[in-house]
Amino acid sequence: MKTDGPAAPRPTDGKSAETRDGKATDKAAELKAAEARKAGRRAREVTIKGIAISPGVAIGPIFDVDAAPAAAPRRTITAAKVEEERGRLTTAVATSRKQVGKLKARLAILPEEAQEELEPLLDAYAMMLGESRLIRGARKRIEAELLSAETAVSDEADAIAGAILAAKDDDKAGLRRRAGEVHEIARRLTRNLTQSGFRSFKEVPEGSILVAEEMTPADAALLDPSRIAGVATEEGGADGHTAIMLRALGIPSVLGLPGLTNALSRGDQAVLDGRAGTIVLRPGKEALAEGRQGIAAYAKERTRLGKLRRLPSVTTDGEEMELQANLEIPAELPLIAQAGAAGIGLLRTEFLFMNRQGLPDEEAHYEAYRQIVEGTDGAGVTIRVLDWGGEKDMEALSEGVEPFHAGPNPALGLRGIRMLLRRPELLEVQFAAILRVSSLGPVRVLLPMVTIPEEVREAREIYDRVVKRVRRRGVTLPEKLPALGAMIETPGAALAADAIALEADFFAIGTNDLAMYTLAVDRAEAEVAHLYDPLHPAVLRLIQFATEAALRLRMPVSVCGEMAGNPRLVPLLMGLGLRSLSMNASAIPRVKQMVRSLNVDDCARFARRVMEQSDPKRIQELVMGFVPGEKG
């Protein structure tokens, strides 16, 4: 039966409209409450822990900057477009080279330390924008895979960086730096290919703490340390070129701050502590007071440590300790000069083989060594010849040397002196350049990964041949030729130290590899990294054995691993008889401070007490509990 009028509404959920309206009202209220809670959270003080990069405390307003995207959608092309894409790439390369040139021209207005730090890096960028593997590989991908120029650049950069990072090398920091360089040039090329804007810091108000998701070394070069109070980023680590630049500029900085950009608003007040590796957003009265105290304390500390630079590294009873610096790339020279290092105790020469198409010739080696030797003002440089194995991605070597297989265990394969004796032409070129540069200042030669005396004997035979060859060329060499030393970085070398000492002129104990090989632990493997312990009694006994073997022959011996840069370990190392340490330049002032508080007899008694222990935990307790001046 049909009825007139509109049909009554029929709720589908069995509830009245009034109930549904009430629910909607409740939902709106909940949303408002959530927004209020979020606003409240953003108004509260928040502390984020990151990676300490450059010491100092900064208080100021946040100024966040965003970089233009440096990525482009993947795109393929037709065969007819290949030449057009190659042309686009050529234009982008030319534009990028001009930009790097402008950055280099800007160096004059930066502090001297920053100038010396950045110039070699920009030179490396310019090299990569030449006929490098990146550019050649991108061209090949355009032709063979029919990719757009930006996609080809991205793929080739990822392939190169991936190969670098996959290398089984104990120097993970160096690998990350080299991979970062490749990606930085790829980003610059992509921005120029897509005509995207670059980051600008002109609008940053004076006294601000600059915040970004990520910062490149080229970005850091644009910073004015007189205007920027501090730098904080969500990405980044302690070992990259950006970190080195920020330290050279002297800007308090913390990188690797998780969730930073989501936790702040532009204009928020913040307290940044570059030593503690923290940033406090919207600080309360207590945090602000602590920040002001930190600024005053850091100023006093800088004054005190600055005075140490000119003071001798000598114990309270007059025993001198030689404190030298490790150098991986020439860009670190300013940091070494600032730290007051007594020369370079370990110059790693692998940088000469990176990011280049062919093998460096004798002249390339000579020029690099000359720059470093002259930069140390006669303080002395120990040059470690190439430490390379088949697992490392060095294009110059892979193309210039007959390839060989790394095997399933590269760390135990053909590396260091083993590889150099198999390929003596590489060793001869380095020996010749080192001999030539020895007339400019004191240098020594260090052989990597020595395990048996025969390896030193064979290397010395090559060395003697090169000496005669260089003299026949009319090159004047110093009367006392550079000493030829051996790195002690395996248990076998340490236990054979008595025999190796009869062949070598000096020892350098590489504690990083020594601990790794002794304990069968790769620090880069998260599952076993906690087992890596340089204070394990087995490691300490090997250090003691090698040191005593050298001292019996009155032969120089040093430690050049991370142990050398830890002030807490200095009393133990001195007690074992060591009088020469080589470390990261930034560690030198505090190590010197420790040396100047010590007495040699106290250190010797302490070392005997430690060496009696068999429990690593007890050794750790003794080392951490040592107080200079205490007897026993």
- Name the binding residues for phosphoenolpyruvate: 348, 384, 512-513, 523
Query: Do 117 and 244 touch, CB atoms closer than 8 A?
Result: yes
Per-residue pLDDT of 306-355, as tens digits, reads 778 888 999 999 999 999 998 877 767 877 877 889 999 999 898 788 65
Stronger pLDDT, 195 or 400, i.e. the higher one? 195
Annotated binding residues? 348, 384, 489, 512-513, 523
Among residues 191, 74, 92, the alpha carbon closest in space to that of 135 is found at 92
Higher pLDDT, 355 or 406: 355
Cα 160 off chain centre by: 19
Q: DSSP letter for 128, please.
A: H
pLDDT, tens only, 228-265: 999 999 888 776 668 877 876 779 999 988 888 778 88
Determine the angle formed by the axes of helices 133-145 and 172-194, rounding to 10 degrees. 50
For range 110-137, the mean pLDDT = 76
**Do 321 and 577 touch, CB atoms closer than 8 A?**
no
Q: Which tokens sit at 313?
A: 């590294």
Q: What is the pLDDT of the chain when averaged over all its residues?
A: 84
Task: Read off the pLDDT band of 476 (50, 70, 90).
Answer: very high
5 DSSP 8-state letter = S
Share of the chain above pLDDT 70, in %: 81
Whole-prediction pTM? 0.63
Question: Taking 80 as the threshold, does the pLDDT of residue 555 lie above it?
Answer: yes
Mean pLDDT of 569-574: 97
**Cα(first)–Cα(last) distance of the chain, in Å?**
110
Residue with tokens 């503690």: 276
Active site residues: 241, 560
CA 394/CA 398 separation, integer angstroms: 6
Contact between residue 380 and residue 350 where contact means Cβ atoms under 8 Å apart: no
- Give the containing element (helix H, strand E) for 630: none
Say what the pLDDT of residue 415 is.
Answer: 80
For 579-630, how does the pLDDT look when each residue is reduced to its tens digit (9 = 90+)?
999 987 878 988 999 999 999 999 999 999 999 999 999 999 999 999 887 6
Annotated binding site for Mg(2+): 489, 513
Name beta bridge partners: 427: none
DSSP state of 68: P
Position 289 scores a pLDDT of 95
Q: What are phi and psi of 314, to 5 degrees?
A: -140, 145
What's the longest Cα–Cα distance across the chain? Answer: 124
